[in-house]
Amino acid sequence: MPLEIERKYLVNEEKWLSVAKPEGIHYSQGYILNDPQKTVRVRVTDKKCFITIKGATTGATRAEYEYAIPRKDAEELLNNFCAAKVEKMRYSLIFKNKLWEVDEFLGKNEGLIIAEIELKEEDEIFVAPSWMEKEITGDARYYNANLAQNPYQNWKPDTSGVSSGKLPWKILNDISDLMEAGMNCYLHKTTFEVVSVPDENRFPQTDWEDEDRQWKEEMDKVFGNPDYMEIGKMESSDSFEIMEDFAMSLPESATKIHLMTALEGHKPFRNFNHQIHNAEKTEKEQWFRFRRERDIEWIKEQLEGRV
């Protein structure tokens, strides 16, 4: 009997984004049969299609039978016989001589990233990558078959004792993106919904008196609503400090000299950005990562004790 020995782990999204990875493969899969003792799965990718029968999981081991099937058959089974489906992008990469398969889930499971590793023995020793978080091998909630029926986004968030440090990184990153684009952001205290509207100072042409304006619904939702909190904007002095810290963190180089000179002169923000624009690609990327990390730290500070 063919056996699958597989361990699963949650992935740290922030660290995973910085990993060099191959092109992902889109997976669409559904379940003809799904009960605790056995599942029958149909999977469709760009290149291959499979039908898979899996037995009950014991520890990290279970029986598995998988067969390639024609695309036409797979698509008909997926569309006509599978009530519950899962969509995801899969990335396969080698780390310390072990194959890891990392799934970024889509649709109603967006925000969930799971890494899997197949082993020869349940107690086999391997080196864990830095982006791997807690093990979820025995947690049935994370089985693909169960995610198809009870998607990740439907899980009720546990808001007891939540701090800004426990907010999903994707939410913090989205807020940072919106604020960088000149938006004012509001966060719901329990659902973590983010509502954004244009900053009047950045977009003075916005007609805020127009009853049919594009942003009226969003403003009505958050204005005077105690369930939403506004996230404060960073002062110019704080932004200047971030630029200065970045320049100081660089090794001695022409770029470091140019950035320090820009900050010491007239119109430091404009001149700093000009120098970054003309820097090497790796230095630009280094700046954007540095700035994003500091922006997220700032957002966390604004939210600490309020959620």
- Could you tell me the CATH number of the domain that includes residue 69? 2.40.320.10
Do 170 and 305 have their domain in common?
yes
Structural domain span for residue 227: 157-307
DSSP per residue, 96-111: TTEEEEEEEE-GGGTT
pLDDT at residue 162 is higher than 50: no
Mean local confidence (pLDDT), 237-253: 91
Q: How confident is the model at residue 159 (pLDDT cuts 50, 70, 90)?
A: very low
Residues 258 and 247: their CA atoms lie apart, in Å, by: 9
In this prediction, what percent of the chain has a pLDDT beyond 70?
88
How is the chain split among helix, strand and coil, in percent rounded to 5?
A: 35, 30, 35
Give yes or no for residue 102 having a pLDDT over 50.
yes
If asked whether residues 166 and 273 sit together in one domain, one would say yes
Answer yes or no: do 125 and 203 share one domain: no
Cα(145)–Cα(34) distance, integer angstroms: 7
Q: What is the mean pLDDT of residues 205-209?
A: 54
Instruction: Express as a percent the part of the chain with pLDDT over 90.
Output: 34
pLDDT value of position 165: 53
The answer to whether 189 touches 230, Cβ cutoff 8 Å, is no
Boundary (domain end) residue, out of 127, 154, 181 = 154
Please indicate, yes or no, whether residues 117 and 233 belong to a single structural domain of this protein: no
pLDDT at 73 over 90: yes
**pLDDT for the residue numbered 211:** 46
278 and 183 in a common domain: yes
Using the 3D structure, point to which of 154, 177, 193 is the last residue of a domain: 154
Same domain for 141 and 162: no
Flag whether pLDDT at 10 surpasses 90: yes
Among 125, 154, 183, give the residue marking a domain's end. Answer: 154
Binning pLDDT at 50, 70 and 90, where does residue 87 land?
very high
Catalytic residue (one of 9, 27, 31, 91) = 31
- Comparing 233 with 19, which gets the higher pLDDT? 19
Tokens of 120: 């020869």
Mean pLDDT of the chain: 85
Res 1: pLDDT: 55
Quote the pLDDT of residue 120. Answer: 85
Helices (H) and strands (E) in the chain, counts: 9, 12
**Do 132 and 176 belong together in one domain?**
no
**214 lies in the same domain as 143:** no
Residue bearing the bigger pLDDT, 151 or 215: 151
14 and 127 both lie in a single domain: yes
Question: In the annotation, is 27 catalytic?
Answer: no
Do 15 and 102 fall within a single domain?
Answer: yes
Domain count, the chain: 2
Do 267 and 132 reside in the same domain of the chain? no
Are residue 200 and residue 75 in the same domain, yes or no? no
Of the candidate ranges 64-78, 125-139, 213-227, the one whose mean pLDDT is the lowest: 213-227
